[in-house]
Chain A
Amino acid sequence: MQPIKPETRQAVTDSAVSVRNVSKVYGDVQALKDLTLEFPRGELTSLLGPSGCGKTTLLKIIAGLLPATSGEIEVNGQKVTGPGPDRSFVFQDFALLPWASVLRNVAFGLELRGVAKSEREAIAEKYIREVGLAGFEKKFPHQLSGGMRQRVGLARALSVNAQVLLLDEPFSAVDEQTRRKFQEDLLQLVKNEKKTFIFVTHSIEEAVYVSDQIAILLPRPSRVSEIIRPSSFRDKSVDNIRRDPEYLDIVDRIWASLRSYVE
């Protein structure tokens, strides 16, 4: 893998997604309270925090799948009122149509947007190749491993060419080796696709490994306690990141601030 040119990352000044003073109340549970966060364009931002702190809730509000109780979300300067073609979602449980082939699953986002069959299948085939599933187009989800299913979900999200990708713990259901491969692929993808990624994870190492920016959320009512931007190791080759002193420092620092919430 080639090093990412520093200019391309530092040139980013504007936000693809802005979350302003968002609160979310479920009945008598306050899941989010007055949360404000900027997501720089073309970067990967991780949302990291203990279980139940509202990460999925925040992601679904950004996706337009859930209304916020108060506050507002802007995507490219446009206020979010519902799902839109500028965002696509990768689901933790893959959310594949079990009755449809890989090809139709990947093309399904385009199908719902009314793209003609031949066109959408050509696009889907391209992304199936891109995520390394060439040759599996005719297979059905139940014939695939967990890792392959998540690749299908990822290809589907990519094929609609949305500016913002929302990923809810996409790697939590795959084994450790596959997960590491996915993390490397994700870095490559962020570099190649020039899209804004919002990535929910439980894993501190994973967040530090893949992120340009890490937002640490604290438990209910959840707010952003800290924003960390790794600076040096992002330019290194993927094999060296995990040995980088800054990487190790940040992992320790995050663990120090989260450990009090575990128990």
Chain B
Amino acid sequence: MTLLGYRLPALSSLIIWALLWEVVGRLGLTFFIPPFSEVVATLVGLIPTRAFLNALWVTAYAFLAGVFFAIVIGIPIGILMGKNRIIDELLLPWVNIFLSAPLTALVPVLMVLFGFGTKTVIITTTLFAIWIIILNARAGVRQINRSLVEMARSFGASPLDAFVKIYFWAALPEILGGVRIGVIRAVKGVIIGQLLISIVGFGALFELYSSQFLMAEFWAVLIVLFGLAFALSEFLAYLERKVSYYAASR
């Protein structure tokens, strides 16, 4: 974006939106939108509080655990599906169903099965993230150059060698793309899980703030979450760019 001939930094359009928010907040049209400056001040005050740090920790823990399981289960399953037709035909319909299913509806069932705690949140997070990771790993393996596999076989590669040294790396650009989308979905998963359980992490905070009409706090926490999700996604996009040097020439 350029203004009066000057190039503005990439995120400068956000400043305009922040100003607009400030104006709308100052007009006092609705309690729902406090001025942006108030939200920022609340944010700064909120971050060092015990309640916030605790929520952040609980959420980060559930999120990381959920993503971890989605990755370590999803990638091998996706690779296996890409390599083996029988496994593929068995699992593909389920993966596709779960990918597009409204998983939120499953959370109450998970609560009954796994209790009203972190375990359920982790499982929800994994369920949100895993399907796209599987599908992308599968797609990555399916586009692999057959002669790379034959090359490895001709030099005596064991199936494990082929898996670790050929399939994984050949599919890595797609895998990372899947992980990036999976992680974004996991953010949804962890928050939805916490909201529905509403006694853990940010879910509890949101519940508290919205029930007591503490809108500045509500928005402050929301901004933190948006910021974290965005930073995470950008970091993974950066990793993806690091393997793009060979993605085009496989």
Contacts and interface: CB of A to CB of B under 8 A. Distances in A.
A112 interface: yes
Given A93-B147, A95-B150, A108 B245 contact: no
A99 B156 contact: no
B145 interface: yes
A228 to B, nearest CB: 29
A136 interface: no
Contact of B156 (A84, A92, A95): A84
Contact of A95 (B148, B165, B169, B243): B148
Interface string B132-152: 000000000000010110111
A92 B150 CA distance: 12
Contact of A112 (B150, B157, B246, B250): B157
Given A99-B172, A142-B245, A142-B249, A65 B153 contact: yes
A91 interface: yes
Most chain B C-beta atoms within 10 Å of own C-beta, residue among A64, A83, A99, A108: A99
Contacts, number: 59
A97 B145 CA distance: 10
A250 to B, nearest CB: 32
Consensus secondary structure, chain A interface: loop
Contacts of A83: 153-156
Contact of B147 (A64, A91, A140, A141): A91
Interface residues of B, number: 22
Contacts of A95: 145, 147-148, 150-151
Given A83-B153, A85-B156, A112 B161 contact: yes
Measured as residues with beta carbon below 8 angstroms from the partner, the interface class of chain A is 20 to 34
Interface string A70-107: 00000000000001110111011101011100000000
Contacts of B161: 112
Contacts of A87: 154
Given A108-B155, A112-B156, A91 B150 contact: yes
A248 to B, nearest CB: 36
Contacts of B148: 95, 97
A97 B249 CA distance: 10
A109 interface: yes
A141 B249 contact: yes
A87 B243 CA distance: 33
B159 to A, nearest CB: 12
B239 to A, nearest CB: 14
A99 B244 CA distance: 10
A141 B247 CA distance: 12
A236 interface: no
A111 to B, nearest CB: 8
Contact of B145 (A88, A93, A99, A112): A93
A35 B156 CA distance: 26
Going nearest first, the 9 A-B pairs with the smallest beta carbon separation are A98-B246, A95-B151, A109-B155, A142-B249, A95-B147, A89-B154, A112-B155, A112-B157, A99-B246
Interface of B: 145, 147-148, 150-157, 161, 165-166, 169, 172, 243, 245-246, 248-250
28 contacts: A64-B154, A65-B153, A65-B154, A83-B153, A83-B155, A83-B156, A84-B156, A85-B156, A87-B154, A89-B154, A93-B145, A93-B147, A95-B145, A97-B148, A97-B166, A97-B169, A98-B250, A99-B246, A108-B155, A109-B155, A112-B152, A112-B155, A112-B161, A112-B165, A113-B155, A142-B246, A142-B248, A142-B249
